[in-house]
Chains A and B, each alone.
Chain A
Amino acid sequence: AQTVTQSQPEMSVQEAETVTLSCTYDTSENNYYLFWYKQPPSRQMILVIRQEAYKQQNATENRFSVNFQKAAKSFSLKISDSQLGDTAMYFCAFGTYGGATNKLIFGTGTLLAVQP
């Protein structure tokens, strides 16, 4: 069974600084995809960034980038120039190509607080 582990329950960063959130996963699949989602206090789930396992290049979306290490099964999220609006719970998620079946598994989350 696939599992997703986020080992940092809470993190704090100063505004304008850089922070990295860690995520590891366990799978025997070779083809899969990964997401980072953000959940602000509004409770709405918002996609931050996605990565296909077959792509060696790390995904980037503005201030958000990932460090995808397939062999190590690691998928960390780097937030540059942190802003107060980045304060949220961040979830790492893993999904497989399964044809009919298509589970999407989430980690336990990291609560990020951006301090002014």
Chain B
Amino acid sequence: DAGITQSPRHKVTETGTPVTLRCHQTENHRYMYWYRQDPGHGLRLIHYSYGVKDTDKGEVSDGYSVSRSKTEDFLLTLESATSSQTSVYFCAIKRSENTEAFFGQGTRLTVV
């Protein structure tokens, strides 16, 4: 298994509270991604990173922010969680452009 860990694995939070999900890798891969998976929508890209402090928006970035202060960590923050952000969140890493993306186990987030 690629060294990629997501935490927490499950979380229930209340509407309006901030939430941070962590993706940690031990592979020293350059690229890191955050996706959300919802029925009928597949995997949608939220944000991605191509290096320390280098990030960019994906398809569904509204309401989310990210930070990457170290190669190994990519944090996804929901500043003020809403029920529409209830989803399964996946982190992925890639060594270089056309190489395989390795995925974490996913985080199931429920906003009540």
A residues apposed to B, CB below 8 Å: 6, 9, 33, 35, 43-45, 47, 50, 52, 91, 93, 95-98, 100-109
Contact = CB atoms under 8 A, between A and B. Distances in A.
Nearest to A33: B98
Chain B contact residues: helix, strand, loop or mixed? strand
A102 B106 contact: no
Top 9 closest pairs, chain A to chain B, by CB: A108-B42, A45-B103, A106-B43, A33-B98, A109-B42, A47-B100, A100-B50, A97-B97, A106-B42
B52 interface: no
B14 interface: no
B9 to A, nearest CB: 11
Contact of B48 (A6, A91, A102, A108): A102
A91 B40 CA distance: 12
Given A43-B88, A45-B90, A95-B97, A100 B51 contact: yes
A44 B103 CA distance: 7
A43 B31 contact: no
Contacts of B103: 44-45
Contacts of A109: 42-43
B22 interface: no
Nearest to A110: B42
Given A43-B88, A50-B100, A104 B106 contact: no
Contact of A98 (B33, B90, B97, B101): B97
B94 A104 contact: yes
A102 B31 contact: yes
Contacts of B90: 45
